[in-house]
Amino acid sequence: MSGNVELLNETLAGARAEGRAALVAYLPAGFPTVDGGIEAVKAAFDGGADVVEVGLPHSDPVLDGPVIQTADDIALRGGVRIKDVMRTVREAHAATGKPVLVMTYWNPIDRYGIERFTAELAEAGGAGCILPDLPVQESAVWREHADKHGLATVFVVAPSSQDARLATITAAGSGFVYAASLMGVTGTRESVGEQAQDLVRRTRATTDLPVCVGLGVSNAKQAAEVAGFADGVIVGSAFVKLMLDADDEAAGLAAVRALAGDLAAGVRAHVS
């Protein structure tokens, strides 16, 4: 069975055709429980997310801020496994028909087996994988298997990336480019940095792939700001914090749905 890279491409192209940025949500699998995590992904889609990234919880998430680290710890204590990540992708995609990716560090895939992981992700209806710590020069075997199974390979670029390095990274990627808008770990920010605009401009000079900006957005105003210069707005910590702060799971899901609605309005703020 082939994965859903084309669904991802069509979704991002559809947002562009509407004159707006896509809204990309991030939620960890297994948080607060496996079933609760699946419902959270559905809630984000219900609220207006175009794409969802499902995080594979990691014991040492070096690129994630304290909010996502806390959620990962809860998921890991609950015993989340790769099979639960695949189930989250499968059920969320089956329920919504929308593109679902997995975001993971490289080590779990390396241990699990590249062919096994890509085959199972495609079978689950996944659209691709975001690999923040896989060096592009070491990615050929992964990309061969991902391409075979119809999965996008999304790489991360940062303001520190030199122009030549950006060109190398974007040439190897597919689906979209994940532009980290602020140096350092993820987490909601008070304002969206000017670095992000410059990074998007430099990245676009190297590729026709959509450039989606993550690491900072938490409200509709910020989403509108990023949507003014990026092809997609990625939001993670803000969703996870709502679920951590909620009195119960139902309240958390309602908050996720409501924030997705606000952000979906934000990315449409520039549509005339």
Show the CA angle centred on residue 216, arms to residues 212 and 220, nearest 5°: 85
202 lies in some domain: yes
One of 6, 39, 50, 64 is an active-site residue; which one? Answer: 64
Tell the residue number behind the tokens 């991802």, with chain if given.
Answer: 8
53 is annotated as an active-site residue: yes
Domain count, the chain: 1
Q: pTM for the complete prediction? A: 0.95
125 lies in some domain: yes
95 lies in some domain: yes
Tell the residue number behind the tokens 């549509």, with chain if given.
Answer: 271
The dihedral built from the CA positions of residue 245, 251, 253 and 254, taken in this order, carries a sign that is negative
> What does the alpha-carbon distance between residue 228 and residue 7 come to, in Å, rounded to a whole number?
24
198 is annotated as an active-site residue: no
Position 113, amino acid: G
244 lies in some domain: yes
> What does the alpha-carbon distance between residue 123 and residue 21 come to, in Å, rounded to a whole number?
28
Tell the residue number behind the tokens 């996944």, with chain if given.
Answer: 126
> What does the alpha-carbon distance between residue 253 and residue 179 come to, in Å, rounded to a whole number?
27
Cβ(21)–Cβ(231) below 8 Å: yes
Give the CATH number of the domain where residue 195 resides. 3.20.20.70
One of 39, 50, 53, 72 is an active-site residue; which one? Answer: 53
Domain that holds residue 229: 5-267
Q: What is the pLDDT of residues 81-127, one digit of tens each?
A: 999 999 999 999 999 999 999 999 999 999 999 999 999 999 999 99
272 lies in some domain: no
Q: What is the pLDDT of residues 129-188, one digit of tens each?
A: 999 999 999 999 999 999 999 999 999 999 989 999 999 999 999 999 999 876 444 555
